[in-house]
Structure 1
Amino acid sequence: MAAAHRARRRSFGGVVLVITTALIAAALLSFSGSVAPRANAAVTAQTWSDEFDGAAGRAPDATKWTLETGGSGFGNHELQYYTSSTSNAALDGQGHLVITARKNTDAGLGCWYGPCQYTSARLNTAQTFTQAYGRFEARIKIPSGQGIWPAFWMLGNDLGTVGWPHSGEIDIMENIGREPNTVHGTVHGPGYSGSGGLGSAYSLPGGRAFADDFRVFAVDWSPNSIVWSVDGTAYKTLTPADTGGNKWVFDHPFFIILNLAVGGDWPGGPDGSTAFPQTMTVDYVRASSSGGAPAARPVRGIGGMCVDVAGASSADGTPIQLHTCTGNAAQQWTIGGDGTLRALGKCLDVAGGSTADGAVVQLYTCNDTNAQKWAYTAAHDFISIAANKCLDAKGNSSADGTRLQTWTCTGAANQKWTVG
Structure 2
Amino acid sequence: MAAHRARRRSFGGLVLVLTAALAAAVFMSFSGPVAPRARAAVAAQTWSDEFDGASGRAPDATKWTLETGGSGFGNHELQYYTQSTSNAALDGQGHLVITAKKNTDTGLSCWYGPCQYTSARLNTARTFTQAYGRFEARIKIPRGQGIWPAFWMLGNDLGTVGWPNSGEIDIMENIGREPNTVHGTVHGPGYSGAGGLGSAYSLPGGRAFADDFHVFAVDWSPNSLVWSVDGITYKTLTPADTGGNKWVFDHPFFIILNLAVGGDWPGSPDASTAFPQTMTVDYVRASSSGSAPAAQPVRGIGGMCVDVAGGSDADRTPIQLHNCTGNAAQQWTVGGDGTVRALGKCLDVAGGSTADGAVVQLYTCNGTNAQKWTYSAAHDLTNVGAGKCLDATGNSSADGTRLQTWTCTGGANQKWTIG
TM-score of the alignment, normalized to the shorter chain, above 0.5: yes
Residues 58 and 288 from structure 1, CA distance in 2 versus in 1: closer, same or farther, beyond 3 angstroms?
same
2:333 counterpart of 1:375? yes
What is the SS of the residue equivalent to 1:206?
helix
Separation in 2 of the partners of 1:135 and 1:31?
15
Counterpart residue number, 1:398: none
Residue 26 (structure 2) aligned to one of 6, 20, 31 = 20
Give the residue type in structure 2 aligned to 1:288.
S
Counterpart residue number, 1:186: 185
Residues 199 and 29 from structure 1, CA distance in 2 versus in 1: closer, same or farther, beyond 3 angstroms?
farther
CA contact (8 A) 1:124 1:255 kept: yes
TM-score (ref. length: structure 1): 0.70
Per-residue Cα deviation, 1:358-411 (whole angstroms, up to 9, x for no partner): 469xxxxxxxxxxxx983244546899xxxxxxxxxxxxxxxxxxxxxxxxx99
What is the SS of the residue equivalent to 1:242?
helix
Separation in 1 of the partners of 2:83 and 2:269?
23
Separation in 2 of the partners of 1:139 and 1:110?
33
What is the SS of the residue equivalent to 2:44?
strand
Counterpart residue number, 1:119: 118
Separation in 1 of the partners of 2:302 and 2:193?
52
2:143 counterpart of 1:144? yes
CA contact (8 A) 2:173 2:183 kept: yes
Separation in 1 of the partners of 2:36 and 2:3?
36
Per-residue Cα deviation, 1:228-275 (whole angstroms, up to 9, x for no partner): 011110100000000000000000000000000000000000001001
Kindly report the root-mean-square deviation, in angstroms, between the aligned alpha carbons of the 2 structures: 3.4
Residues 192 and 302 from structure 1, CA distance in 2 versus in 1: closer, same or farther, beyond 3 angstroms?
same
Residue 301 (structure 2) aligned to one of 292, 300, 303 = 303
1:8-407 map, 5 Å = 8-15=7-14, 16-17=17-18, 18=22, 19-24=25-30, 26-29=32-35, 42-290=41-289, 301-303=299-301, 358=325, 375-377=333-335, 378=338, 380=340
Per-residue Cα deviation, 1:183-221 (whole angstroms, up to 9, x for no partner): 000000000000000000000000000000000000011
Residues 304 and 94 from structure 1, CA distance in 2 versus in 1: closer, same or farther, beyond 3 angstroms?
farther
Separation in 2 of the partners of 1:411 and 1:237?
35
Separation in 2 of the partners of 1:222 and 1:165?
20
TM-score (ref. length: structure 2): 0.70
Per-residue Cα deviation, 1:148-188 (whole angstroms, up to 9, x for no partner): 00000000000000000000000000000000000000000
CA contact (8 A) 2:300 2:417 kept: no
Q: CA deviation at 1:300?
A: 7.9
Residues 242 and 417 from structure 1, CA distance in 2 versus in 1: closer, same or farther, beyond 3 angstroms?
farther
Gaps of 5+ in 2: 291-296, 306-323, 345-400, 405-412
Separation in 2 of the partners of 1:42 and 1:184?
26
Separation in 2 of the partners of 1:303 and 1:53?
40
Residues 219 and 271 from structure 1, CA distance in 2 versus in 1: closer, same or farther, beyond 3 angstroms?
same
Give the residue type in structure 2 aligned to 1:93.
G
CA contact (8 A) 1:29 1:46 kept: no
Separation in 2 of the partners of 1:79 and 1:234?
33
CA contact (8 A) 1:381 1:417 kept: no
Per-residue Cα deviation, 1:96-129 (whole angstroms, up to 9, x for no partner): 1000001001111000000000000000000000
CA contact (8 A) 2:30 2:48 kept: no
CA contact (8 A) 1:171 1:185 kept: yes
CA contact (8 A) 1:29 1:44 kept: no
Q: CA deviation at 1:4?
A: 3.0
Per-residue Cα deviation, 1:34-54 (whole angstroms, up to 9, x for no partner): xxxxxxx94220000001011
Separation in 2 of the partners of 1:93 and 1:12?
34
Separation in 2 of the partners of 1:418 and 1:186?
36
CA contact (8 A) 2:88 2:98 kept: yes
2:10 counterpart of 1:4? no
Separation in 2 of the partners of 1:31 and 1:102?
43
Residues 411 and 72 from structure 1, CA distance in 2 versus in 1: closer, same or farther, beyond 3 angstroms?
farther
Give the residue type in structure 2 aligned to 1:283.
D
Give the residue type in structure 1 aligned to 2:51.
F
Separation in 2 of the partners of 1:184 and 1:65?
24
Identity of aligned residues (%): 81
Residues 175 and 31 from structure 1, CA distance in 2 versus in 1: closer, same or farther, beyond 3 angstroms?
farther
CA contact (8 A) 1:51 1:96 kept: yes
CA contact (8 A) 1:45 1:288 kept: yes
